[in-house]
């Protein structure tokens, strides 16, 4: 694990905790990037990582992204994330998730968790048995439809920037990953008359898309190569990487996945290829906005959706600033988030 303390210092992490429960076999990691704006809220995902190093790198990248997402959305939150290693011997059981909940409780409210890939509302119900520092569960419902709603609105800003109109009718959209967010996004797109191309590791999900929306189903290996207007990664991170960046045959990359760019340098490559990239933590903030409003209370669904719809305006403003300042949209997004974090920090300093 050498090098992680240096990375924490360089990227201003506050805490990374590795946890293990001998009785249940739980192996997990929790990363708190920042609590400058408020408690570090971020989902917990359960994933079959190739090794423990990959899990730690993922949780750190995701936690940092949550700090930027919260700051850019002007929410009173910091950024954190949790991951549970899904290994062959791991039994997905109530005792295991309750053990994880006890570790969340030990963070004393500095980390608040929610749903993510592999961790649904039923799992959150188990975690809540051991800690109050969790948002979601069966009573609240999934934030996924709200994430999808924000991505759909954000796509309209992208379409207006590239094609001159926010209308998505007859647009060819390649959706990578038809999970809860991907499916909800497809419903919005199909409802507007977009033509869908879909891929997922689970064939039953692509079969469903073909039946419901007359989508074209392709393999996970080929989804990046499809000729389309918008490529929308809605699964794991790193969808734009050393291999796929040259294969993309689209004008826009805009999706619900976190850490879409495997490395920041691929943002420049996309720009050079004439492909507009909607920074992931700007366009996919709808679920976080829903979760935070649920935590605070006081707003109904229509009010929450109206707040999420502001993502479209945020992206329009971001694209305008990027053009005026001759910067990449991702660079402008980082600057906005960092300014918001610094402003909060400055206000909290004595004197």
Catalytic residues: 81
> Using alpha carbons only, how large is the chain's radius of gyration in Å?
19
Distance (Å, whole) CA 217 – CA 345: 48
What is d(CA 22, CA 44) in angstroms, rounded to the nearest whole number?
20
d(CA 283, CA 252): 13
What is d(CA 288, CA 155) in angstroms, rounded to the nearest whole number?
Answer: 18
Q: Count how many Cα atoms sit within 13 Å of the Cα of residue 58 in the half-sphere of its side chain.
A: 25
CA nearest to 260, candidates 244, 238, 286, 231: 238
Report yes or no: 267 and 332 within 8 Å, Cβ to Cβ. no
Enumerate the β-bridge partners of residue 216: 197
Q: How many CB atoms lie within 10 A of CB 229?
A: 20
């Amino acid at each position: 694990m050498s090098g992680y303390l240096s990375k924490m210092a360089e990227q201003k992490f506050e805490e990374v905790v590795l946890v293990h429960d001998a009785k249940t076999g739980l192996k997990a990691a929790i990363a708190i990037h920042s609590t400058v704006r408020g408690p570090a809220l971020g989902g917990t995902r359960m994933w079959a990582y190739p090794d423990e190093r990959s899990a730690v790198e993922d949780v750190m990248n995701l936690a940092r992204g949550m700090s930027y997402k919260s700051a850019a959305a002007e929410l009173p939150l910091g950024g954190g994330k949790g991951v549970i290693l899904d290994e062959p011997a791991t039994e997905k059981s109530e005792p295991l998730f309750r053990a994880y909940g006890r570790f969340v409780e030990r963070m004393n409210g500095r980390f608040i968790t929610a749903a993510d890939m592999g961790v649904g509302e039923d799992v959150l119900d188990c975690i809540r048995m051991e800690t109050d520092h969790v948002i979601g569960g069966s009573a609240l419902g999934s934030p996924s439809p709200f994430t999808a709603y924000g991505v759909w609105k954000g796509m309209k800003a992208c379409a207006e920037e590239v094609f001159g109109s926010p209308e998505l009718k007859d647009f060819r959209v390649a959706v990578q990953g038809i999970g809860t967010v991907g499916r909800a996004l497809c419903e919005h797109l199909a409802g507007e008359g977009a033509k869908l191309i879909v891929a997922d590791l689970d064939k039953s999900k692509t079969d469903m898309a073909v039946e419901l929306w007359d989508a074209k189903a392709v393999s996970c290996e080929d989804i990046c190569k499809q000729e389309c207007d918008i490529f929308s990664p809605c699964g794991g991170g790193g969808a734009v990487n050393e291999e796929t960046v040259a294969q993309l045959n689209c004008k826009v990359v805009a999706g619900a996945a976190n850490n879409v760019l495997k490395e920041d340098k691929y943002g420049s490559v996309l720009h050079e290829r004439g492909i507009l990239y909607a920074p992931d933590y700007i366009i996919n903030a709808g679920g976080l906005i829903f979760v935070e409003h649920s935590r605070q209370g006081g707003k109904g669904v229509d009010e929450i959706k109206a707040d999420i719809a502001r993502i479209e305006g945020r992206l329009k403003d971001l694209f305008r600033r990027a053009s005026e300042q001759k910067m990449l949209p991702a660079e402008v997004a980082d600057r906005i988030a960092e300014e918001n974090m610094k402003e909060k920090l400055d206000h909290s300093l004595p004197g």
